[in-house]
Structure 1
Amino acid sequence: MSEIQIGLLMLGAVIIALVFAFNTFQEWRFRKRTRQAFARHHADVLLDVPKNHVRDGKQERLEPVLLQDDDDTPAYLNDTPPTHAYHAPVEAELPVHEDSADDAVMDAADHQALIIALLDPSLDFIAEVVFKQPLQLSSLPRFNVAKRVQAILRSERGLWTPPELLPGIRYKQVNFGLQLVDRGGAVTEQELASFCQQISHYAEQFDAEVSFPQRQQKLVAARELDRFCADVDVLIGINIVSPLPISGARLRSVAEAAGLQLEPDGQFHYLADSGNSLYSLTSADQTPFTMHNLLDKSFPALTLLFDVPRVAGGAAVFDRAIAFAQQLSQEFNARLMDDNRRELSGPGLAKIREQLVRIYGNMDDRGIAPGSVAALRLFA
């Protein structure tokens, strides 16, 4: 082999080594950036969050024996963030017509107060957009944010209306409210900045004036409110465990006789007159109930769910739920158990009730009544 051939081989080997080294360096740099991008600077929600918390939209539930004395899909205007649990609509139905026949209704102080209450400064970051001249609006903007956004409009006559736009009506102001806290946690600084930017862009299209609350104060308030919500956000689950599979047909008969009805989420719900769920019954293995499988399927066990902060009537409703659970236990020769398969006794249930009274007292002291509009918004 000539010296030239040997030199070319050596040069080729060096080039191959350099290419390999460069690729190795690129791979190391990519992995480093990936680790930085996905590094967690917070607690692992699956490992560190107590089971009695129902935050981040996860339906983890409280094991009754653990009740002790210690302690990003876009959402758009008028859209409700999707949840796996059945939730009745929060907002009340409001008339929106503003012709002469409805003037008395629209002018009524209580009606105006109801519309204005759709946005709550203690729950929402409220941006005010004021047009220089009243104008007709063909649509309202959609916001690419992870929290609920609601709007109210002020007409040329000075009356506040819900966000349903009517032809022939001119508006001089729109208020947009970004909800500060929900079960996904508190709004972040980046989310708030994005919302403000989108609002400013909308106002610029109409050469309108826009005003915002003080951001840092709202962020601090949101974090404090989220901490409070985490303390009271619990979902109680009581298992009804029978030695024999529970007939779906018989279960449906018992549930409906007790006033529960099957809802689209695949659970039986006991509903208040308002349509809100007070407690629900589901299959312990998460199999949704349907009219079809209730006819020919049996279920190994059942779970009664009580979503604490969303229930108006508090301890009295809990008593009713427990009475229904005990009725099921008698009907199916079953036992009431926690998630660790430990039997729930009368004294244990009484202790849970005491804890519920304490939680509801804390909510009342905070001014967030269980089952109220504010509670349904915060715990959705």
Structure 2
Amino acid sequence: MSELQIGLLVLGGAIIVLVYGFNVFQEWRFRRRTRQAFVRPQDDVLLNVPKNNVREGVRADRMEPVLLDADTLEREDSYFEAAAPPVDAGFEVDVEADSDSDVAVVSDDGIANMDSADHQALVVSMLDPSLDFIAEVVFHEPHELAAMPRFNVAKRIQILGRTEKGLWKQAEILPGTRYKQIHIGLQLVDRSGSVSEQELAGFCQQVSRFADEYDAAVSFPQRQQKLVAARELDRFCADVDVLIGINVVPRAPVEGTRLRSFAESAGMQLEPDGAFHYLADSGNTLYSLMAADQMPFTLHTLLDKSFPALSLLFDVPRVAGGVEVFDRAVQFARELAQEFDAQLVDDNRRSLSDAGLARIREQLQHIYGSMDDRGIAPGSVAALRLFA
């Protein structure tokens, strides 16, 4: 057999293998598309939530209770007293995130009315070693900052500075304000998960570069210890991170104008996220109402559209007040059902019953007990940070 014949045989065999492999690939792709088209996961009523509302990658054995209809309790207590540290009435604290750098900003209007020691305790508490990886930058001489450091990290960052007078404040660029040291805190855990080793290493490098610009000394916590603690905290948060959703399905679609009137008469208000929220005195959400298909409510859609189903949401770890607030949310759901001739159902369109609510309340008490044991009270500043 000549070399030409051998080459032709090898080439022919290669072509056959390529054709066979291509056919196998096409069959695999067809099967995958078929599964995506016809297989729909059956979500639990407590875990069927809008995208990004709860953390990803939770454990497979996390709680999946089924919410059913029941008698409720009515309470008029304030549900958010534990959500912030005690401050004088004249002091207003507003923690926000800078859209460019995700650095927290604190508004201290009315600071002159506060006792200095109380204010210092409040400022220092913004960074928590159990929640933050805190880098300490110490200047050899007091420095006026020319620019705030910027960080290319996904997690929240807060920066506190100690002035040459020895007072701690949110660090900012102010003419005449000189700092002896600054603390830069990287939040270790949020609903996107725990900080990664790569993210933490990048953060440390960026802090070191900032310190070098000012010829300052910098110190960091033990990185591996913080990573281990962050992963353990994230596992705990995943276990208690539950968003309860109660579906309200009327016999006929609800007109937006009627829905808005009913929601506002019940004390709810339309927020920029496209949902009605019932707010505590602090301004934090106790429960919210949205369209079941997640279409945002707007003044236009409420005027022109009708809604075939609604969802009442209760974000368990972010709500202070515990089971009493949950009871109040369920009571509101039942009022919705009565007003619009609707049923309360789970995501499989099964009616909700009294026995189910009793089980839910027991499971909620277990969650709240676990959070209290951990020292993270539902609706507290720590909880609002971790479950954001």
TM range (shorter): 0.7 to 0.9
Letter paired with 2:98? D
Letter paired with 1:346? D
Candidates 332, 335, 340, aligned match of 1:324:
332
2:160 match: secondary structure = strand
Give 1:92 deviation, angstroms: 6.3
Give 1:319 deviation, angstroms: 1.0
**Contact preservation (8 Å) 1:81, 1:148:** no
What is the TM-score of this pair, normalised by structure 1? 0.77
Tell whether 2:258 aligns with 1:250. yes
Candidates 207, 210, 223, aligned match of 1:202:
210
Q: Identify the residue that residue 134 of structure 1 maps to in structure 2.
A: 142
In structure 1, how many angstroms separate the alpha carbons of the residues matched to 2:65 and 2:223?
39
**Contact preservation (8 Å) 1:152, 1:175:** yes
In structure 2, how many angstroms separate the alpha carbons of the residues matched to 1:169 and 1:60?
40
In structure 1, how many angstroms separate the alpha carbons of the residues matched to 2:300 and 2:365?
39
Tell whether 2:122 aligns with 1:108. no
Candidates 52, 58, 62, aligned match of 1:57:
52
Give 1:153 deviation, angstroms: 0.5
% identical equivalent positions? 65
**Contact preservation (8 Å) 1:234, 1:307:** yes
2:233 match: secondary structure = helix
- Decide whether aligned partners of structure 1 residues 56 and 261 sit closer, same or farther in structure 2, where only a CA change above 3 A counts: closer
Q: Deviations over 1:321-378 (max 9, x none)?
A: 1110000000001011111111111221122112111111111110001011100000
- Decide whether aligned partners of structure 1 residues 177 and 201 sit closer, same or farther in structure 2, where only a CA change above 3 A counts: same
Give 1:52 deviation, angstroms: 3.4
Counting only pairs closer than 5 Å after superposition, residues 323-342 of structure 1 correspond to structure 2 as 323-342=331-350
Q: Identify the residue that residue 175 of structure 1 maps to in structure 2.
A: 183
1:147 match: secondary structure = coil
Candidates 236, 241, 261, aligned match of 1:233:
241
- Decide whether aligned partners of structure 1 residues 303 and 78 sit closer, same or farther in structure 2, where only a CA change above 3 A counts: closer
In structure 2, how many angstroms separate the alpha carbons of the residues matched to 1:138 and 1:194?
22
Candidates 344, 347, 352, aligned match of 2:352:
344
**Contact preservation (8 Å) 2:54, 2:242:** no
Q: Identify the residue that residue 98 of structure 2 maps to in structure 1.
A: 79
Q: Relative contact order: is structure 1 or structure 2 higher (C-alpha 8 Å, sep ≥ 6)?
A: 2
- Decide whether aligned partners of structure 1 residues 183 and 156 sit closer, same or farther in structure 2, where only a CA change above 3 A counts: same
**Contact preservation (8 Å) 1:96, 1:162:** no
In structure 1, how many angstroms separate the alpha carbons of the residues matched to 2:135 and 2:383?
22
Q: Identify the residue that residue 273 of structure 1 maps to in structure 2.
A: 281
Q: Identify the residue that residue 124 of structure 1 maps to in structure 2.
A: 132
Candidates 290, 294, 298, aligned match of 1:282:
290
Give 1:285 deviation, angstroms: 1.0
**Contact preservation (8 Å) 1:96, 1:164:** no
Candidates 108, 112, 117, aligned match of 1:94:
108
In structure 1, how many angstroms separate the alpha carbons of the residues matched to 2:54 and 2:373?
26
**Contact preservation (8 Å) 1:149, 1:176:** yes
Q: Identify the residue that residue 314 of structure 2 maps to in structure 1.
A: 306
Q: Deviations over 1:111-142 (max 9, x none)?
A: 00100011000000000001111011132111
Give 1:95 deviation, angstroms: 4.5
**Contact preservation (8 Å) 1:183, 1:378:** yes
Letter paired with 1:52? L
Tell whether 2:302 aligns with 1:294. yes
**Contact preservation (8 Å) 1:64, 1:238:** no
Give 1:166 deviation, angstroms: 2.0
Counting only pairs closer than 5 Å after superposition, residues 186-197 of structure 1 correspond to structure 2 as 186-197=194-205
Give the paired residue count: 323
1:151 match: secondary structure = strand
Letter paired with 2:178? R
What is the TM-score of this pair, normalised by structure 2? 0.76
The RMSD of aligned alpha carbons is 3.3
